[in-house]
Chains A and B, each alone.
Chain A
Amino acid sequence: MYTQGLDQKGEDAGRTAETAERLAAFQARIDAEEKIEAKDWMPDAYRRTLVRQISQHAHSEIIGMQPEGNWLTRAPSLRRKAILLAKVQDEAGHGLYLYSAAETLGTSRGQMVDDLLSGKAKYSSIFNYPTLTWADIGAIGWLVDGAAIMNQIPLCRCSYGPYARAMVRVCKEESFHQRQGFEIMLSLSRGSEEQKAMAQDALNRWWWPSLMMFGPGDSDSKHSAQSMAWKIKRFTNDELRQKFVDVTVPQAEFLGIRVPDDELEFDAESGHYKFGEIDWQEFFDVLAGNGPCNRQRLQKRQRAHNDGEWVREAARAYAEKQRRKAAA
């Protein structure tokens, strides 16, 4: 994905007037299920939408390492620790695949990192909740990664080639994440009364935030319609959320823990579960920076970034010295 070189060139291409003809030709390619590649002509708004979505997605993976990293040193066994370590490494990897895909659109990695650190760019609201017990690691894998998979599988068919290809890779790895989470929940739910209570408590706290991961309802989602027309999105937020509820509720039943929703019931006629109203105020509060851990997450990322500066600097200096030696 070689945008940096094309970047300057892309500038000019991007500036070419967005005539009705060009826009129609672009939409025709999308409608014909052609993939759009990095150097192809695209409307500025398509490019901006993708940069916003892919970089947000990347930031979510990077910030998402924190709630789980919190339990690395306290995992209950060496097996669990090795698995969690591999999962957290995967999250870093996912972030990097996605930054790499976003860079093909002509935005530099440095710019994206700056936007995350300054608070200008958003990341998924879910990572602003704390991981209070070991069961939360199970709930995150099972619910949060489960919701992410629902979201991401259709993205493998996204109209933008580099994003779609990155998502194929992410999805392959994500299913390990979900299964290891479910396995943790299963062990707890088959354990002592205290362990069962821990699993139930984790479900209580993570259920609603997981449903919020799909974003606002279709009537309030400001980006949905255009993204569907551009085939960046294939299903609406509400459709994906319903799918998630439908597959997850039977899993909770299997575990013998209760989904914290009094209005939840199976509707035989539609074949779907009906569920209660989501507290959207909470969602918007968390998104606006007032969730339980927003400040802590960003501070920690900023600190890691600052603490790494001397390493980046030293590597640059060493590379420069080697180059000069080789030239001499």
Chain B
Amino acid sequence: MSNKEWPLYEVFIRSRAGLSHRHAGSVHAADAQMALDHARDVYTRRNEGVSIWVVRSSEIIASDPAESSAFFEPAADKIYRHPTFYEIPDGVENL
């Protein structure tokens, strides 16, 4: 059964111009055009989108959650990257 299954596509939808595409879910489809058609029928029945991206799920490369603390660690101790790190004396404005 599974080797005959249509491949899985991840679906990303831009809800209106000015916003970025956002992951909505997935659909099975035989090819890319069908994936777009299915994504439209499944995820935008109430005008939820003005643009759809689909991508084969197997093409997505994801970071490993088990390694996430090590992976994101370099950012953790660099608090000077945030404006709140800096002390500004009273009386200084527009900074």
Contacts and interface: CB of A to CB of B under 8 A. Distances in A.
B50 interface: no
* Interface of chain B, main secondary structure: mixed
Nearest to A94: B42
A100 B27 contact: yes
Contact of A93 (B23, B45, B60): B45
A313 to B, nearest CB: 8
Contacts of B14: none
A317 B56 CA distance: 18
A1 interface: yes
Given A93-B45, A97-B42, A166 B1 contact: no
Contact of A4 (B27, B34, B42, B58): B58
A5 interface: yes
Given A13-B66, A40-B65, A108-B5, A103 B30 contact: no
Contact of B6 (A93, A114, A316): A316
Nearest to B61: A5
Contacts of B34: 315, 319
Contacts of B57: 1-5
Category for how many chain B residues contact A: 20 to 34
Interface in B1-19: 1-2, 4-6, 8, 10
Nearest to B7: A4
Given A110-B5, A312-B6, A2 B26 contact: yes
A251 interface: no
A109 B45 contact: no
B42 A96 contact: yes
A315 B46 contact: no
B28 interface: yes
Category for how many chain A residues contact B: 35 or more
A100 B26 CA distance: 6
B34 to A, nearest CB: 7
A173 B28 CA distance: 22
A39 interface: yes
Contact of B1 (A3, A114, A318): A114
A54 B1 CA distance: 21
A226 interface: no
Interface in A108-143: 108-111, 113-114
Nearest to A104: B26
A284 interface: no
B30 A2 contact: no
A37 B68 CA distance: 13
A23 interface: no
B26 A1 contact: yes
Nearest to B25: A100
Nearest to A323: B31
Interface of B: 1-2, 4-6, 8, 10, 23, 25-28, 30-31, 34, 41-42, 45-46, 57-60, 62, 64-66
Nearest 9 A/B pairs, CB to CB: A315-B30, A319-B31, A110-B1, A319-B30, A2-B57, A100-B25, A100-B26, A5-B58, A110-B5
